[in-house]
Amino acid sequence: MKVSVIIPCYNQAKFLPKAIASLQAQTLEEWECIVVDDGSTDNTAEVVSNISLREPRVRFLQKANGGSASARDMGLQQAQGEYIQFLDADDIIAPEKLESQIERMEREGADISYTAFCSENRQGERTKLRAVQLNAYKIYVLWGLGASVPIHSFLYRTEFIRRNALVFQSACRFREDWGWHMKCFDVHPTVSALLDYCGAIYMQNENGKTGSYIRMQEGNFTFMAHMTKQLKGWNTIRWAFRISEELWIWLLRMLKYRSTQIAKTIVILPVVWTIGSFLLMPISFWWILIYFIKTYIAK
């Protein structure tokens, strides 16, 4: 079973060799790696060219800068494998990940599977992070609050993606992974139970989008405002509840950091969404309390 591994890359040439090396270490040998250069101004092209001379399974695509979502969509269009693995240029995956997930998905006929994950600091020390069983409700309401899973934990059946015409949220350059999984789980995929081992390794990179709480907060509000224009029906209630949770997070960060930058991250939402979110805050308070206890007390 061939896997297409799609790596969007923007000025991360120094990380690419390690990401690709983690593919070369896979126990499954049938894979192709599609590196999509998203208008980099560093030596990404040179690095990939040198690697591809020694590794024919690596392909290189280039495009004007448009964000990681558009880069992943380009990779999807070119993918030839029966399975899709997304991998950021500054992250890696465990050697047995692809083989173990395919074996599980073939046995169960699953559209999606995912593993637990770890973070790795600059000293090479790894910490296993919380892993949860996912469903659409958790992705809408609890993503970012204890139910987040990095995109390289997942493996997708290509036929599932193409049958449902799934694409990324390229119009908003924040939380593309979150939006992608909202779409995936909205079409009721067959999902394998969590494989509870560290299949995906998140490399701590201070220059990444998740490198600071201010960037995280700004990204969350921007993405939430973007999604209010797209959601309908029951999902609007879920989303208003998630916004109300985010307002609590914002207030708590204001108290903790006393930062004027945090104050400026809030985005004005449409009136109906603003009212609905405020009305739900007394209920969402308890979810935030549980999140606070899990994150800062029950470690």
DSSP letter (8 states) at residue 246: H
Biggest CA–CA distance in the chain, Å, is 59
pLDDT at 84: 98
* Gyration radius (Cα) of the chain, Å: 19
Find tokens 């004005």 and name the residue.
268
For every residue of 115-126, DSSP letters joined together read EEEEEE-TT--E
Helix ranges, 150-233 (H):
158-163, 176-186, 213-227
Query: Please, are residues 167 and 184 in contact by the beta-carbon 8 Å criterion?
Result: no
Q: How distant is the alpha carbon of residue 164 from its chain centre?
A: 19
CA distances from 183 to 111, 150, 169, 236, 298 (A): 13, 16, 10, 14, 32
pLDDT at 258: 84
For the chain, helix, strand, coil in percent to 5 are 45, 20, 35
- Three-state SS letters, 66-111: CCHHHHHHHHHHHCCCCEEEECCCCCEECCCHHHHHHHHHHHHCCC
CA distances from 262 to 97, 240, 244 (A): 38, 21, 17
pLDDT at 130: 73
Listed residue (142, 126, 205, 212) closest to 178, CA to CA: 142
- 3-class secondary-structure state, position 151: helix
- Sign of CA pseudo-dihedral 151, 118, 146, 144: negative
pLDDT at 1: 66
- Sign of CA pseudo-dihedral 246, 139, 38, 209: positive
Give me the tens of pLDDT residue by residue for the chain, a chain 299 residues long: 699 999 999 999 999 999 999 999 999 999 999 999 999 999 999 999 999 999 999 999 999 999 999 999 999 999 999 999 999 999 999 999 999 999 999 999 999 999 999 988 888 888 888 778 999 999 999 998 888 899 999 999 999 999 999 999 888 889 999 999 999 999 999 999 999 999 999 987 655 544 488 888 999 999 999 999 999 999 999 999 999 999 999 998 888 888 888 888 998 899 999 999 999 999 999 888 887 777 666 55
pLDDT at 210: 45
Listed residue (180, 159, 265) closest to 219, CA to CA: 265
pLDDT at 207: 56
Query: Which tokens hold the place of 283?
Result: 């209920």
Q: What are phi and psi of 265, to 5 degrees?
A: -80, -15
Distance CA 255, CA 74 (A): 42
